[in-house]
Chain A
Amino acid sequence: MSSSAALLQSDTLGSRLTSRGDLTSFFMELTAEIGADSYMLVAIVHDQDRNDARIVSSNWIFDAIELIGKRLIASLAQGALTVAPGIRPRPLVAAQAPDADGLVSGEEARLLDVLGHAEIYSLRLNVGRQRLFALFSAATAGHIDQPALMKAQLKCCYALSHIPQLIAAAAMQDPLSDRERECLFWVSEGKTTDEVAVILGVSSNTVNSYITHAIQKFAASNRAMAIATAIRSGII
């Protein structure tokens, strides 16, 4: 069992990733290695009741994105088929839709099929505390190598860990400073302003101003909403 022989092109590309361009090359290479045709890296932005997809990187054709729509992409990325690392993935097969999971209608499935997404896998990626989603799809169902896909999921997590600023900017996920995040965390644990002040050893006014800043950054209307936004985006 030799260990050095197992390095693939994606390992080399991914572990040296520093720029947006590197990200594209890495994903192109990885997509080819697992037998897929298309990839899409998506961040989900929570806006009140709606989940919007923010596409960070993708080789889907423009028309596919336009026709399928961000809303459907968001529900594909976050739907019942999405798996965390370590769970065996299950594809959405366009030919079998509408299926039990009810993710896509018959019409949408036909569209996906025509546009070259006969099967789609949706993977959750954890990059530290940030959460992103990767869709890998193939024009022919059954083309994607599942064991390789499960490894690819970890590789994506690793690779994205190299470019936190880029991911944060794309996903606009954690706008808070350390202090603001901490204050909001304690408020979410049911602490009052005065209690947080004692915990952190600062004045109540300071705590209030941190929390106000956090509320403003999330464009929230009050503490409860700021907490909800922060938890939904995995910040606290």
Chain B
Amino acid sequence: MKHADIKDAAEALFNEQRSPFGAFSLSSETHHAVTIPDAVRRCRWVSVDINASAFGLYFVSPSPERARLVPCFDSDYPGIALATKFISGANGEEIVRHTHNSTEPRWWTDDGVEAMAEMFGKLAWTAQISPLAPGTSGIAFPVHADRGQCGLVVFLGSEIALPQDMLYEIHARCFSLFAAVARIRPSDAGRMRAISKRELECLKLTANGNTSEEIARLLKLSVHTANQYLTQSTQKLNAVNRNQAVAKALRLGLIE
């Protein structure tokens, strides 16, 4: 079986670096996912550890109106699995609302395998939802990254084995995986021109509600110069106006 092979390989890889908290340590898995293929590999390891047959990572849109799951990758990477089409389609609304308000995992069963309902039913802290993809069973972990990004890591399968004690570890690994993915995603961070100290000061004051005139007075500049700093930083951040520049600077952690 292909699945068994992957499991053996992953186990061999992890046996050396197992920490008291399972396959989860300060080594490669926690910090250094720099590309999507890396992230997919890490997600596959998690998936193998709970004996899932498929997985997917989705971004959750911040606006409740466009409640949508945006696929980042799934187990068919670089392709897209059929389940992902369902999950990011019409079925996502309930889980998106849940992810906005709660961090608890949610599971569903629709594959007629009684053992799955029984296994999930025993897990504390979790509850059942309507199936994200028809004819499947699975579990969805809400995840959140530093800059307020929301996401969902989903595992599918009819032979998932997830004891209570492993639930926390798996969810923790989903969190660190998502944090790594969320860091790569804002693609304009890398090729952004450096923003000067003065420009950041002006942006920070803008974020604190100061007008150009006030900024000029506080920093002892002319209004014209203050405006120029703000225009420059807006351009460097690839933003269309000051509001967006402030938002981007905060989300990228350039200002506090």
Contact = CB atoms under 8 A, between A and B. Distances in A.
Interface of A: 1-4, 6-7, 11-12, 14-15, 48-49, 84-88, 126-129, 131, 146-147, 150-151, 153-155, 157-158, 160-161, 164, 178, 181-182, 185-190, 192, 200, 220-225, 227-228, 231-232, 234-236
A228 B249 CA distance: 10
Contacts of A158: 103-104, 125
B148 interface: yes
A3 B26 CA distance: 27
A200 B65 CA distance: 9
Contact of A128 (B99, B146, B169, B209): B99
Interface stretch (B69-77, B174-182, B185-193): B174-182
B15 interface: no
B242 to A, nearest CB: 6
B30 interface: yes
Interface in B91-105: 99-104
A225 B21 contact: no
B208 A86 contact: no
Given A128-B99, A225-B209, A234-B148, A15 B125 contact: yes
20 contacts: A3-B123, A6-B163, A6-B165, A84-B146, A86-B176, A88-B21, A126-B144, A128-B144, A147-B21, A154-B167, A161-B104, A164-B101, A178-B64, A185-B63, A188-B243, A190-B240, A224-B246, A227-B207, A228-B246, A234-B148
A85 B105 CA distance: 14
Interface string B19-42: 111001110001000000000000
Contacts of A220: 209
A26 to B, nearest CB: 12
Contact of B26 (A88, A147, A153, A181): A88
A39 to B, nearest CB: 17
Contact of B168 (A131, A150, A234, A235): A150
B169 to A, nearest CB: 7
Contact of B246 (A153, A227, A234): A227
